[in-house]
A and B are shown apart, each in its own frame.
Chain A
Amino acid sequence: MKGLSVSKAVTALMLAGLVLLPLYSQLSGNIFILTLFTRIIILALAAASLNLIMGFGGMMSFGHAAYLGIGGYAVGMLAQEGIGSGFIQFPVALAASAIYALVIGALSLRTRGVYFIMITLAFAQMAYYVASGLARYGGDDGLTIYNRSDFSGLVNLGNRVQFYYLCLACLFGVIFLIWRIVNSRFGLVVQGLRSNEQRMQAIGFPAKRYQLVCFVISGTMCGLAGALLANNTDFVSPAVMYWTRSGDLMVMVILGGMGTLFGPIMGAVVFLLLEEFLSQITEYWALIMGPLLLLIVLFGRGGIMGVLGRAGRG
């Protein structure tokens, strides 16, 4: 039980830190840290959504960044066409992501293992090239968003602190949903399928439809992250969908601890902070980051959450 309390304490500390960060930023006048953490929170949301299918569902999707692009382009393209209302942009972003997930999932889930990884990667790369070809919306160069989503006074996305808290609320909301889902009937079936698909079929569960629904839920959640990310950068480009970005998301999940509720947040915070500070020290930061991640994956089974759990047990 003590092991649980160590990881719980660290998690609580981290969450409290995230909630209080704008206060610190305001007191210290450090605006940069607020911008940085807004990005971290958005990508933590994306990692959490990936964790739902990868950690709990056992579906190794290597194309999750596609939803960041789809959510982002939904916002950007609508803004470009003069539809600035967030009440339209965000639902469209979620719906587009859901539809993409439904189609991709229906096709990809016919395969297993390595093939599933490769096919999800292939679809994401297709999305990347489609976005590159959208000449009207900037093509390769991407699309600048001149006005952030307008929620008619409800929240002002132009205000750094308000936007930060909107992102944080979205993250907590998604974590709450995932928590409910993984303990629900549906969640137990999905986790059972990860554990032993043959057994689940034998006791009467058709595997694919549960996995597909899970895939769609996850994609929709990540589409939300995409819509937020586009607002954060005032810009969306095919680069957000590139396969290395999907890889980053996977690393965050594995680093934090697959199949744990708060692991992806932990992973995103550590990964992106490392990236930020190492890249300040040296241009060749990836040379340090790579081996570091290797060590964590090799020796820290279960990611950071796993290590914290064991540390507590002694």
Chain B
Amino acid sequence: MAEPLLRVEKLVRRFGGIIATDNVSLDVASGELHAIIGPNGAGKTTLISQLTGHLAPHSGSVLLAGRDITYLPAYRRCALGLARSFQITSLLLDFTAADNVALAAQAHAGTSFRFFANARKERSLRDAAHAALDRVGLGHRADVVVNRLSHGERRELELAVALASKPKLLLLDEPMAGLGVTESQRMVKLLQELRKEVSIVLVEHDMPAVFALADRITVLVYGRVIASGDPAAIRANEDVKRAYLGDQHVVTHHG
């Protein structure tokens, strides 16, 4: 088997007496969209934070394309091709949409210790920004300050920012959070497009979306992986039904 793009091995993270990540192992193959689901408090965000470098695990390891990144800071991981979106939108609120994306492009295009030339006039950065904004359907809002964007637009901008760094792997932490029905549908459509270009790890509560999108699903309960497999297998899995799916009808009826 080819080397997985992302390999998580026996990851453990405790908070006091609580084990938030309990011996989690998972592989994400190149080109795959891998969803991580689980009820509230299952430790999804804790897991994601360890993948992005915002939280250090107590033991275990994280490998990106075979390289150990377990203890690398967030900015180094990003340089290696790992980009993320935040569950709670995290953008530069007093910058325009284009500036937000252009900065992400800038981080991956040479040194930023340039003090004199006007960065907003750098063609390559602006072009990259507009390309990423067009990609998520925000091209017409490029010069709007983020403060004035709607919640849905900000979620899309999060994606554009992540895309602008030309990542190998995209970690999306609940991209549908707080979106209305139509906005969610647009986001699903967008992710369906993006998955052709980049491998994605998707943490999401929206079950119909997950089952529509994922190649593989890992189910997390109390910090532990209780099942991992393709959507059909997960849907049929008795453990998953018992432990996780008070809302099992959602799984059986949609997707």
Of the listed stretches B16-24, B33-41, B103-111, B188-196, name the one at the interface; the rest are far from the partner chain: B103-111
Q: Is A123 an interface residue (CB 8 A)?
A: no
- Measured between beta carbons, the chain A residues less than 8 angstroms from B182 are none
**Is A192's CB under 8 angstroms from B103's CB?**
yes
Which secondary structure dominates chain B's binding surface?
loop
**Is A196's CB under 8 angstroms from B90's CB?**
yes
Q: Is B15 an interface residue (CB 8 A)?
A: no
Task: Give Cα A183 to B99, complex, Å.
Answer: 11
Of A183, A185, A201, A210, which contacts B74 at CB under 8 A?
Answer: A201
**Is B90's CB under 8 angstroms from A188's CB?**
no
Which secondary structure dominates chain A's binding surface?
helix
Given the interface contacts A180-B116, A185-B114, does A204 sit within 8 Å of B92 by beta carbon? Answer: no
The interface on chain B, measured as residues whose beta carbon lies within 8 A of the other chain's beta carbons, has a size of: 36
Task: Give Cα A260 to B83, complex, Å.
Answer: 33
58-111 of chain B: CB within 8 A of chain A = 73-75, 78-79, 83-84, 86, 90-95, 99, 103-104, 106-108, 111
- Measured between beta carbons, the chain A residues less than 8 angstroms from B106 are 185, 188-189
Q: Return A156 CB to nearest CB of chain B, in Å.
A: 32
Q: Return B37 CB to nearest CB of chain A, in Å.
A: 23
Task: Give Cα A180 to B114, complex, Å.
Answer: 10
Given the interface contacts A180-B116, A186-B115, A187-B119, does A205 sit within 8 Å of B107 by beta carbon? Answer: yes
- Measured between beta carbons, the chain A residues less than 8 angstroms from B115 are 180-181, 184-187
Q: Is B50 an interface residue (CB 8 A)?
A: no
Task: Give Cα A235 to B254, complex, Å.
Answer: 81
The interface on chain A, measured as residues whose beta carbon lies within 8 A of the other chain's beta carbons, has a size of: 24
Interface mask (B161-179 → A, CB under 8 Å = 1, otherwise 0):
1001100000000000000
- Measured between beta carbons, the chain A residues less than 8 angstroms from B165 are 203-204
Cβ contacts A to B, 29 pairs, < 8 Å: A180-B115, A180-B116, A181-B116, A183-B119, A185-B112, A185-B117, A186-B113, A186-B114, A188-B99, A188-B103, A188-B120, A189-B106, A191-B95, A192-B92, A192-B103, A195-B92, A198-B90, A199-B90, A200-B92, A201-B78, A202-B84, A203-B83, A203-B104, A204-B75, A204-B78, A204-B79, A204-B165, A205-B112, A206-B73
Interface residues, chain B, CB within 8 Å of chain A?
A: 52, 54, 73-75, 78-79, 83-84, 86, 90-95, 99, 103-104, 106-108, 111-120, 122, 161, 164-165
